[in-house]
Amino acid sequence: MMGKFFEKSVTALSWIAGILLITSLLLLIAYLVYEGGSSLQLSLIFGDTAPLDALMLKRQVFDGLLSAIVGTLLLIIGSMFIAIPVGVAGGIYMAEYCRGKMKSLLNLAFDILAGVPSIIVGLAGLLLTIFLNRNFQGQISTCLLISCFSLASLVLPYLIRTTQTALETVDPVIRKTALVLGASRLQNITMVLLPNSISAIISGVILATGRCAEDTAVIMLTGAVATAGLPRSVFDQYEALPFYIYYISSQYTGPDELAQGFGAAIILLILCTGLLVSTLWIQRRLSIMLLYR
């Protein structure tokens, strides 16, 4: 009797928590649309520049968000390009090769790194910038590349632990079948374990991508500025939507400018949603490719 009551209570609380979460999300989106919907025009992105001229790089956009959008995409792509291979490889090593006290020590280290505040990572990136600037006679300063490395180091523990957990939770029967049939450890990892854990690994990638897209503390110390235009190389400073939103919210001069900040938040939300959908599509394609390989 008590068991059924406890089960029903847990179910009811789960439904209540889910409804509150969805309601909070919808209210947040509705508030953003209410405050910034009026600013969602082409002029918000391209300013006074003709959209075709801006997209063809014939004219620079100084009073629109195009540079911030492009900078955010470059930041996310660069960070994940660095973090995903290292994170997945580290997770495979932790799950399949690392043993004993070394594994316990590394697990503790990754758990501690996962809890490090982003401002600390930003300060570490700034320290690296100062070191490189002094040793290369001022040729290297805050830039897109350092921001990408800093954000990659921020999300790396998540990717490692997600990959490790996904591989370790594969059914023991599935894990051992290929080995019993004569497959090597590497073949077992690439042909059996990774295809069966790809969904969980992609989930970690999605969370890491969202963290790279929204973080402000790291980029404001390592290369993001209010006005920089499109970066010509990875060694240039850049604009990013999170920094723009922070800058506008703290220094706006009127309601119109504040509405532009809300509009930038909506664009960032749309950008993250697009990345989420793209990642889910890649997850589905990878699952099919690996399972029918």
Q: Which of 100-114, 124-138, 222-236 has the highest mean pLDDT?
A: 100-114
pLDDT > 60? residue 141: yes
Residues 6+ apart with CB under 8 A from 40: 263, 266, 267
pLDDT given for residue 178 in this prediction = 75
pLDDT higher at 141 or 148:
148
For the chain, give me the number of helices (H) and strands (E)? 13, 0
Collect all residues with Cβ–Cβ distance below 8 Å to 222 and sequence separation of at least 6.
122, 125, 126, 129, 142, 143, 146, 147, 150
Look up residue 204 and give its two tokens.
């970690």
Give 105-111's long-range contacts (Cβ < 8 A, gap of 24+).
110/157, 110/160, 110/161, 111/157, 111/161
Per-residue pLDDT at 138 = 66
Over range 208-236, report the average pLDDT.
Answer: 81
Say which range, 61-75, 172-186, 245-259, has the weakest mean pLDDT.
172-186
Question: 182: alpha, beta or left, given left = phi > 0 and alpha = psi -120 to 50?
Answer: left
Q: What is the mean pLDDT of residues 154-177?
A: 86
The pLDDT, as a whole number, for residue 106 is 86
Model confidence at 291, in pLDDT bands (50, 70, 90)? low
Across 81-105, average pLDDT: 88
Q: Is 84 helix (H, G, I), strand (E, B) or coil?
A: helix
The dihedral region occupied by 100, where left means phi > 0, alpha psi between -120 and 50, and beta the remainder, is left
Cα–Cα distance, 60 to 288 (Å, whole number): 43
Reduced to 3 states, what is the DSSP secondary structure of residue 248? helix
Q: Which of 84-93, 220-229, 232-241 has the highest mean pLDDT?
A: 84-93
Among 16-20, 55-59, 79-83, 168-172, the least confident range:
55-59
pLDDT tops 70 at residue 293: no
Q: What is the pLDDT of residue 23?
A: 92
pLDDT digits (tens, 9 = 90+) for 103-130: 889 888 888 888 888 888 888 888 888 8
Q: What is the mean pLDDT of residues 225-234?
A: 79
- All domains in the chain, ordered by first residue: 40-291 (1.10.3720.10)
Is the predicted pLDDT of residue 137 greater than 60, yes or no? yes
Instruction: State the Cα–Cα distance between residues 157 and 254, nearest whole angstrom.
Output: 41
* Average of per-residue pLDDT values in the chain: 83
Q: Which of 78-82, 88-92, 269-273, 277-281 has the lowest mean pLDDT?
A: 277-281
Q: Residue 22: what pLDDT?
A: 92
Count other C-beta atoms under 10 Å from residue 7's C-beta.
10
Residue in 268, 274, 238 with CA at minimum distance from that of residue 74: 238
Q: Say if CB 199 and CB 173 are below 8 A apart.
A: no
How big, in percent rounded to 5, are the helix, strand and coil portions of the chain? 80, 0, 20
